[in-house]
Amino acid sequence: MEQSNSKQERNKRRISRRSFMAGIGAGTVCVAASGHLFAAGDSQAAEKVLESDEMSKIRLHINGRSHQLLVEPRWSLLYVLREKIGLTGSKEGCGRGECGACTVLIDGIPRYACLTLAVEAEGTEITTVEGLMDGEKLGTVQQAFVEEDAFQCGYCTPGQIMSVEGLLRKNPAPSVEEIRTAVSGNLCRCGAYTHIFKAAEKAAESRRK
């Protein structure tokens, strides 16, 4: 009798293949249903996320002119400036905010165009190295760079000029240390830093006169 009762207890604890599959099926239905309900409740939030290749209409104010464009949210300001508008003065060096060759002014402040999204720059005033010229006449900082021989290969020069321009708009009479700090985010692989500092000092002096 005891042996029979023990056998019945083991059978109760034993899970059949049919009952196991039935349990898995029920669980799957519950998970799917809960996922569907979550997706339905979160649909409005999902609609607000832009796809990487979805085009957005923006208006950029660059060098005193307005440009209306269709851009992808992932496009950098540098890419739009060079490839879509044709302002190639800003250079792409590293593409990750280390060399400063792409520096432009955004509302008067030097910024890396490679790290700034085009959609992020909408509603701001953007100035590139081309915008410092008056027709064919060089701007004050540009002219000082020429006179002081403040470049060799010239690839970093547009970014260097924009950093100095941003400094002088904020501080018309900077010290040498302030000039060094202002261009510390701009890499010159040719090592023309001494001439760059002299050019910045000359540009400041010219503007004061």
Q: What is the DSSP string of 36-87?
A: HHHHHHTHHHHHTSPPTT--EEEEEEETTEEEEEEE-TT-BHHHIIIIII--
Query: Same domain for 75 and 112?
Result: yes
Q: Give pLDDT, residue 20.
A: 44
Encode the chain (209 residues) as per-residue pLDDT tens digits: 545 555 455 554 454 545 544 554 544 444 344 444 334 444 444 445 556 668 999 999 999 999 999 999 999 999 999 999 999 999 999 999 999 999 999 999 999 999 999 999 999 999 999 999 999 999 999 999 999 999 999 999 999 999 999 999 999 999 999 999 999 999 999 999 999 999 999 999 999 98
Q: With 0-12 CB in 10 A as exposed, 13-18 as middle and 19+ as buried, what is 84?
A: middle
Query: Same domain for 74 and 117?
Result: yes
CATH number for the domain that contains residue 70:
3.10.20.30
Range of the domain at 10: 2-47
Q: Give pLDDT, residue 30.
A: 44
Query: Same domain for 71 and 105?
Result: yes
Q: Give pLDDT, residue 128.
A: 98
